[in-house]
Amino acid sequence: MARVQKLTEEIVRGIAAGEVVERPASVLKELIENALDAGARRIDVEWREAGRKRLRVWDDGEGMAPDDARLSLERHATSKIRDLNDLEHVGTFGFRGEALPSIMAVSRFELVTRTAGAPEAWAIRAEAGRISFDGPAGAPAGTSVTADDLFFAVPARLKFLKSDPTERSLLFRAVEDASLSAPGTAFRVMSEGKEALSLPALEADGARLIERLESLWGADRAASLKAVDETGGSCGCGGGCRM
């Protein structure tokens, strides 16, 4: 019988990453949600080879100071909760502090971030979770995260991915879902080197949301929907409803 032994930190990172990063679309979902939590009004998305070769998200949100950028790459480091009581009032998409370290563990990774008014941006690069660069860089205010060669560190995961068209459709679905939850944010998608989607920022009410549905699904389909925009107490509901 094999003896019990403690797993190495590298193996632990790989296992934990598998719980968060299943495929390119799950990476994209996490990065877009981080961007929205940072107050982004514009999000640019780029992918190559259906996200296997490159997946990049840039936002014009508040950015991070260098120390915060480093901490964001440590597991269970987050700015979104401080104690257990905060779990009852979470108002962000994410709060566990697992997305960035998980993505970093399975890709050739780059984080570039800059706060408004900072003299320079800060970049951190890593391969399979091992940081190779941590220093100043030139970039506009906001944050960009690039994950190249996804799963190169755990090639067995690649065989579970579907065909490129299927993985691309899941990437588009992730953008569409996020854009419907954040109509006040503009989205732009570059797919395989070509602009595939451009959505302007809209007012965050039901009537304007119908405009976003028109952009995504076409005017005929959106015409059958009635705008919904209701708020009661601490809850609200907005969208389109077919009567």
108-114: strand order across its sheet: 130-137, 121-127, 108-114, 142-148, 54-59, 42-48, 186-191, 194-199
What mean pLDDT is predicted for residues 89-102? 64
Tell me the per-residue pLDDT of 165-182, one tens digit each, with 9 for 90 and over: 999 999 999 999 999 889
Residue pair 112/144 in contact (Cβ under 8 Å)? The answer is yes
Helix, strand or coil, per DSSP, at residue 138:
coil
CA atoms within 13 A of residue 149's CA, in its CB half-sphere: 12
Q: In this predicted structure, what is the pLDDT of residue 95?
A: 44
Cβ atoms < 10 Å from Cβ of 78: 20
- Mean pLDDT in the chain? 84
What mean pLDDT is predicted for residues 201-221? 76
Q: In this predicted structure, what is the pLDDT of residue 115?
A: 97
**Global model pTM greater than 0.85:** no
Tell me the per-residue pLDDT of 9-29, one tens digit each, with 9 for 90 and over: 655 555 454 456 899 999 999
Q: In this predicted structure, what is the pLDDT of residue 132?
A: 97
Domains recognised in the chain with CATH numbers: 9-201 (3.30.565.10), 204-243 (no CATH)
| Residue, of 188 and 95, whose pLDDT is higher | 188
Tell me the per-residue pLDDT of 102-155, one tens digit each, with 9 for 90 and over: 999 999 999 999 999 999 999 999 999 999 999 999 999 999 999 999 999 888
What mean pLDDT is predicted for residues 75-95? 51
Q: In this predicted structure, what is the pLDDT of residue 230?
A: 72
Distant-in-sequence, close-in-space partners of 17: CB < 8 Å, separation ≥ 6: 101, 102, 103, 105, 106, 154
